[in-house]
Amino acid sequence: MKLKFKLLFSVGMLILPIMYGCSTENAMSSIEPQLSEEALAKRLPNITQKNRAIKLATAFLKSECVMQTNSDWGTNGKIVDAFPVYLDGVEDVSYYECKVQKGGADAGYILVNINQTDLQIPQYNTEGRTPSEDFAKESGISVDNLQVFRYNWFEMLAEKKTATGLGDGIPVIARGFNGTGEFQKGNKLDHQQLKTVRQEFIQRVQLAGGVNPAYLKTMLRQVHNRDSLIAEALKQYPQGLSKAAATDRWTSDELNNTFASGWHLPQWTQVRNASNQWSGCGPLALTLLYAYHRQFTGKSKLFNGLDLNGNVTLPNGRIVNGSSTAASENQTIRDVVFKIGADCHADYGTSGTGVSMNALENDGELYGDQLGYDVHLDQDYGGDFTKGKTALGHIRGERPCMFQFYTDPPKNTKYHYGAIEGVKYMERKFVWNWYDYEMWYLVNYGWGSTADGGIRQWICVDAQYGSIGAVTEYKNTGNLYMMWR
């Protein structure tokens, strides 16, 4: 799969994808913005804002949305700290990463927007450390001495703090896609290389009205006004949003079985072949589906009968669990990924591996068929909610799905294949009718475990905000599911 949503390297220069394909013709001056003492003071973490963010994160942790999909996280999770995060082009703190622990162990985070420059809860994760803590570990600089910038779900940047303007620190670390379509972390960057593209992003923030450029200022104000009413209602209902938002209802489910690694699908990531080419996110996503059926639905001939919940051997002799990230290097697992890629006529190029959804659907069956099974792959069509509700039926039928998704705006489409481990959607009632409101997928990105820098988390595929219209997180271009006949 040739990923277009990535970090581009050219003559050693890193171009952040936060520009969404911006041209150099429109690049602004590379002069750094300078902030006044008043503006610098606004950037300092404010204890009142921090406490408010923790309060909102706690309310979300106990909300119906969380309780319906991960009641253990909502019931036993506790907010223990919060770290400031900035939006490039906005002077004050824009977010707080509210750290969650469960039983004294790290259990993810809830990102809260504090100044109405983004959705109130743009994202959350139920596992591992906060991104700020990851940056601190990768850079060797304490969290208190870092300033972290967020651009979207995938791309972030951390700099060492200085006493001068926004973005004047020494860039220490970044995460995002590289030129081969691989998600990377720990990239140490030259500050001079980032000036122009960061100014481009700042310009887009200004054009959007001083908010995240994925939205418009007027739209976000209406969303926050709606959410503020819920926040006020929380004061009356200590148990959370279930009563405060009585006109909302959530429907959700996840796959029944779980691998030893803790995920419903293996924590595998892309690997390289003898020609140093990547296996591709499309063939890998399909391999994850085959892995579930091999382990839990009786298709034991897959993977040469390899027990993916047991120990497997790597080429260097190391013994690891078969569903772990390291197991991606096991020869049998590697062979399956590249066999599927070859069957689907994947394009193993220098900048990534490309394969179409139709090729995966029509030829992804060959691996299972050649082992004596009757495999049928088919796509779900329709709108995001139609496909999502159909995907929920697959999940309940123990059929994990893969899907292709992209980010808005459509003219700057960024594609990636992921695997679906769970589905949830929310409907809102107006008078006596229920309307589609939010659609979410629990996505295994095929980037390995959280500890290795990968991601497995809930993402919003589509969200409706009443009269404001559709606000899209990640549109779904199509689901692909596997039937056995």
Grade residue 302 by pLDDT with cuts at 50, 70 and 90: very high
Three-class HEC string of 149-184:
EECCCCCEEEEECCCCCCCCCCEEEEEEECCCCCEE
The encoded tokens of residue 170 equal 């020494």
pLDDT (tens digit per residue) in 327-370? 999 999 999 999 999 999 888 765 567 778 888 988 999 999 99
* Residue 409 preceded by cis peptide, ω within 30: yes
Query: Is a pLDDT exceeding 50 seen at residue 469?
Result: no
Q: Are 199 and 191 in contact (CB under 8 A)?
A: no
CA 403 to chain centre: 14
Instruction: Kindly state the tokens that stand for 210.
Output: 């001083």
Is the CB of residue 473 less than 8 Å from the CB of residue 463?
yes
Helix axes 281-296, 331-343, angle to 10 degrees: 120
Q: What one-letter code names the amino acid at 126?
A: T
Q: What is the DSSP string of 289-335?
A: HHHHHHHHSS-TTGGGG--TTSEEE-TTS-EEETTSSGGGGSHHHHH
Q: Tokens 């391999």: give the residue.
A: 287
CB neighbourhood size of 123 (10 A)? 20
Q: Name the helix (H) or strand (E) containing 389.
A: helix 384-396
Secondary-structure percent of the chain, ordered helix, strand, coil, rounded to 5 = 35, 30, 35
What was the pLDDT predicted at 484?
Answer: 87
Tokens of 409: 């705006």
Amino acid at 451: A
Model confidence at 461: pLDDT above 80:
yes
| Predicted pLDDT of residue 156 | 86
Which range has the worst mean pLDDT, 35-44, 95-104, 263-272?
35-44
- Write the DSSP string, 453-475: T--EEEEEEEEE-GGG-EE-SEE
Q: How far is the C-alpha of 321 from the C-alpha of 287, rounded, in Å?
A: 17
Cβ contact 189:174 at 8 Å? yes
Residue 372's CB: how many other CB atoms inside 10 A?
A: 8
DSSP characters over 278-296: B--HHHHHHHHHHHHHHHH
**∠ Cα 415 420 423 (to 5°):** 115
Sequence-separated (6 or more) residues with CB below 8 Å from residue 2: 181, 347, 349, 351, 352, 353, 354
**How confident is residue 15, by pLDDT bands cut at 50, 70 and 90?**
very low
Q: Provide Rg for the chain, Cα atoms.
A: 22
Per-residue model confidence (pLDDT) at position 8: 25
State pLDDT tens for residues 127-155.
Answer: 899 999 988 888 888 888 888 999 877 78
Burial (0-12, 13-18, 19+ Cβ within 10 Å), 315: exposed
**Tens of pLDDT, residues 206-244:** 888 888 888 888 777 777 766 554 454 444 433 433 333
Is the pTM value of this prediction over 0.85?
no
Specify the amino acid at residue 394. H
State how far the Cα of 304 lies from the Cα of 203, in Å rounded to an integer.
54
Of all helices (H) and strands (E), which one includes residue 108? strand 105-113
Q: Residue ranges per domain, the chain?
A: 8-246, 254-484
DSSP-derived 3-state class of residue 198: helix
Of all residues in the chain, the percent with pLDDT exceeding 70 is 75
Q: What's the pLDDT score for residue 436?
A: 81
Phi, psi of 215 (to 5 degrees): -130, 180
Whether residue 266 contacts residue 259, with contact meaning beta carbons closer than 8 Å, is answered with yes
Distance of CA 266 to the CA centre of its chain: 17
* CB contact burial 333-356 (16+ within 10 A = b; e otherwise): bbebbbebbebbebbbeeebbbbe
Q: What's the pLDDT at 235? A: 47
The answer as to CATH 3.90.70 being correct for domain 254-484 is: yes
